[in-house]
Structure 1
């Protein structure tokens, strides 16, 4: 059954009479979307402090990866984002998107020597790139709500099936699915089936709210990260530390938000204190980091669309 599409989302789809873009125009657009996707992941990597997460400053709670590992991963994904955007432009079925994602994961693991740096991001940012391509082909807006509607209308039913019935043995053995089975924690597949609600209902609004009060983009991203940490059931955290670790992450994040986030003069000290505790306890909210990158991509796509209209 196709998942229900929020009413506010469907109203955002306003078709524009336009001829489908030519091949060269499609490729230029896909390259631009890929550049935004890679840039969003790089933006997330550069952000600091991010409790327990890898940055250019330190490796957080990880001893198996660092910023250089992430850079190799980013480089390996640049063609994937372009290809999946082109797939969306050409109205590809979900099976084709999935095929591209599996190939991208293999490239990532080869580049990182088997370390999972961006599995969740391959799924969520890939879907957004495909949705941008589909919206471009249809001449519809790429504002956040319209982008989400495009994704759900075109691939919603298949995404729901993908979330409930993994087909590959390797996927069935993934950390995320094992965690979901044990703790009922949501992951990238469940997010995708619902049209990335954590991105469109938490991450993007948090970015917009911080910017509206005058925060810089960097501070807005910190606020959005903590908002995501406070609200999602992060399978990465459950895998490493179980329900108690997940509760610690949510409590620290909610306390940061309740204190005013980056609007508080002492926000940096609070964020650093959380980072130090998370490192000590080996907590790493990688799912929130992926969703932050996806939220940044949604904003970047909307900005690009606004410039061209």
Structure 2
């Protein structure tokens, strides 16, 4: 069980990495707005994290408390940084996707459904208070500084609340696009732009402040209002926003993390059906 959850997490992270176009983000075609990382950096990080998602799923199945999960995450982050030469490729995924993997372990061990928002509800019920009570793991990180400076919700609040943006925005957008006939690539782009349109992305706030966040949100909304991936010229429009992000050095990393989480939950549901 834990092994299957771990493999699903790695598959989801790889699917997010391989997707293109993704405005400002690293993909197989280019490094987006990043000078310090490329696809190879992400692949080294993924290799280093394989055992982590299996381990945290197993810990979740046993009902581990948040400090135990946190220690697993700290150890995983150290492995990630060692593999990438100090580059933060997957800190957000170590935290958010790790908690979802732990919740999946807990629910699957007890025969609970993975449908609906069960994974988020489990994460909030079991570990929400611990998440908010603990000091930020990386208080000087870009995301933590954006939360303090701009009053953004941030990943910790999102997780403590049961990942509402994941279950109310990302997964419904992914499911609707697939149901309407989109292939997995187009459905993933649709989900990504749906996230970019609403998420208070701390990575964008760090790189571009409120103006940078507003630029991305407005661009994503225009893309969706014109039909999203069901518009004949969707790829050209997405690439235009990508180029604009590169010029402005903007990268919606929070939306990318949330997309990987959506792909993880969707994959688990499909295999459990």
Category of TM-score, reference length = shorter chain? over 0.9
**2:23 aligned residue:** 51
The corresponding residue for 1:291 is: 258
Which whole-Å CA distance do the structure 2 matches of 1:224 and 1:88 have between them? 27
Structure 2 match to 1:241: 208
1:37 to 3, 9, 22: 9
Matches within 5 A, 1:33-182: 33-162=5-134, 165-166=135-136, 171-182=138-149
Secondary structure of the structure 2 residue equivalent to 1:233: coil
Shift of 1:96: 0.5
Per-residue CA deviations over 1:38-57 (Å, capped at 9, x if unaligned) read 00000000000000000001
User: After superposition, what is the alpha-carbon deviation per residue over 1:165-216, rounded to whole angstroms, capped at 9, x for unaligned?
Assistant: 43x5xx2211111111111123221211111111111110000110111111
Kindly tell me the number of residue pairs found equivalent between the two proteins: 273
2-structure distance, mates of 1:141, 1:50: 32
The 2-side partners of 1:122 and 1:252 are apart by 28
Aligned mates of 1:134, 1:234 — CA distance in 2 = 29
Show the counterpart of 2:223: 256
The secondary structure found in structure 1 opposite 2:200 is coil
Instruction: Calculate the aligned-residue CA RMSD, in Å.
Output: 1.0
Q: Give every structure 1 segment of 4 or more consecutive aligned residues whose post-TM-superposition deviation is greater than 3 Å.
A: none
Say which SS state the counterpart of residue 251 (structure 2) adopts.
coil
Bigger Cα displacement from structure 2, 136-145 vs 112-121: 136-145
Quote the offset at 1:222 in angstroms.
Answer: 0.2
Q: CA deviation at 1:107?
A: 0.6
Contact 1:101 1:126 in 2 (8 A): yes
Structure 1 residue 224, shift from structure 2 partner = 0.3
TM, length-normalised to structure 2? 0.97
Give the 3-state SS of the residue equivalent to 1:172 in structure 2. coil
Deviations 1:257-286 (A, max 9, x none): 111100100101100100010001100001
Matches of 2:203 and 2:122 in 1, distance apart?
28
Post-superposition CA distance 1:61-109 (Å, at most 9, x none): 0111000000000001100000000001111011101110111111101
Distance 1:53 1:37 in 2: 19
Whether the aligned pair in 1 keeps the contact of 2:207 and 2:249 (CA below 8 Å) is yes
Structure-2 separation of matches of 1:266 and 1:89: 45
Q: Which runs of 5+ in 2 are unaligned?
A: none
Any conservation in 1 of the 2:123–2:159 contact (CA below 8 Å)? Answer: no
- CA distance in structure 2 between the partners assigned to 1:191 and 1:103 by the alignment: 22
Distance 2:44 2:140 in 1: 25
Tell me the alpha carbon deviations over residues 288-309 of structure 1, each in whole angstroms, 9 at most, x when there is no partner. 0000000100101111221xxx
Quick one: distance in 2 between partners of 1:302 and 1:139?
A: 13
Show structure 1 runs of 5+ residues with no match.
1-28
